Each structure stands twice: as C-alpha cells, then as structure tokens.
Amino acid sequence: MRYRIRGGIEIRTENAAKTEKQQSQFLLELIAKIPHVTSAFDYGCGKLRYQRAIADTADVLAVVDSEIQLSREQRLRGKQTTVRSIFRQSNRVNVYNDVEFSALNAQFQRGFCINVLSVIPSYARRRQVLDCIYDRLAPDGECLFVVQYRNSDFTRMRGMPNAMPWLDGFLVDSLRGYSFYGLIPPDRLEVSLKRAKFFVRDIQLNEGSAYAWVTRA
C-alpha cells in the first residue's frame, strides 16, 4: 500500500514485503498448531510469505493487499508473475484489494495480520485497518496480529544519514523511494487493539516480535 505523509513524501510499503525464504520458524510452528477452520484471511499478504502455511489451516482463504501489490509483476515462487495470476483458477483462495475486502458482505472465522501495522506510517490508517479486520471477523472469530518491537537491523538503519524519525519508527530514503519501519512495543499494541474493541486473549513474545491473539469483544 502507499501513503503520503508530511512534505509530500510517499511511502511504498510493497517495497518492504518479504518472501517465503524469510519466514519465521516460530510463526510457522504456531500456525501449524492451530485448529482447522472453514474460512480465514491474510490481511497484508505481500509476497505470500505465509500464505501456504495459513491455507493449510482453512477450507477457504482470502488474501488481501493493495491493488498495486496484487497486480504488479514481481518475483513470486520462482517466476515473474502477479498475486492475482497465481490464484486466478483457484477454488480455495480468493484475492481482494483492501477496498474490495472492506466492502465485503462476509465474515471469516480467523484472520492474520502479520507485520502489517508496523509498516503503516499513520496512526489513523492503522486504526482503519483494525476496524476493517474487526468487521470482517465472525462473532466467534479470532485474529493473530504480529508486530516487531525490537530489531538489531532497525537499530543500525536508524543511525544512517538517510534515516529520520517518524511516529514510533523512522523513514529511510533509498533509490526505491521512502520506506517506513515502525517498532510497536507489546503494551502499545495491546492498547491499540483494545481501543479497536478487540478482546486480547494472549500475547507471546519471541525474538523481538509480539504475537497477539484477539477475538471480538
């Protein structure tokens, strides 16, 4: 997704998306242990980093991201293609951009929002994402939110001459444009989730990341 902030700076979050080769083993093991459900969504699917693991836990999966991320040609699973092309003939995976997903008249038993909030350079826009996810969850549904609160690479990058503070993180100006890297402490994540009407069932910490399971309050 793309965001314009003060000074006309455009943040292109699609540049921060990681591939399946950069998965967290802790998260893969966590996903593998959860019960199967009929429907789930992956909000901010990016380069499909965890799509296959999540798909194994649900009959039907919705992958959600900006239209730019879904439709642009990029290297995915060993070839130049698009997210939409990969699932064009799938009867188990549906693809929605964020606007389409927000307008859906459907709810899901489980959601995933993995390393999404910490790349959004706007508190108001983060709240909009939380509200959308809340609306798309079934009354008995649950969602896993994952954010980073500590990262040694971020500490190094924060000190670079092309970096400057912004919100709870910093901006980096590179050849590909500006990127935002946020670090959201577990207590601040919990406050944000509760303000968005979620019930925070559990928060686990592992190697600088917070894993919060929530339900609709």
**What predicted TM-score, i.e. pTM, was given to this entire model?**
0.93
Alpha carbons 12 and 145: distance in angstroms, whole number: 21
- Would you place residue 160 in the very low, low, confident or very high pLDDT band (cuts 50, 70, 90)? confident
pLDDT tens, position by position, 72-98: 999 898 899 999 999 999 999 999 999
User: What's the total number of domains in the chain?
Assistant: 1
- Largest Cα–Cα separation, the chain: 49
Amino acid at 142: E
pLDDT tens, position by position, 34-45: 999 999 999 999
Give the structural domain span for 56.
2-216
| E-assigned strand segments in the chain | 2-5, 9-12, 37-43, 58-65, 74-76, 79-81, 93-97, 108-114, 137-148, 163-166, 169-174, 177-182, 198-206, 209-216
Alpha carbons 57 and 31: distance in angstroms, whole number: 8
CATH number for 156? 3.40.50.150
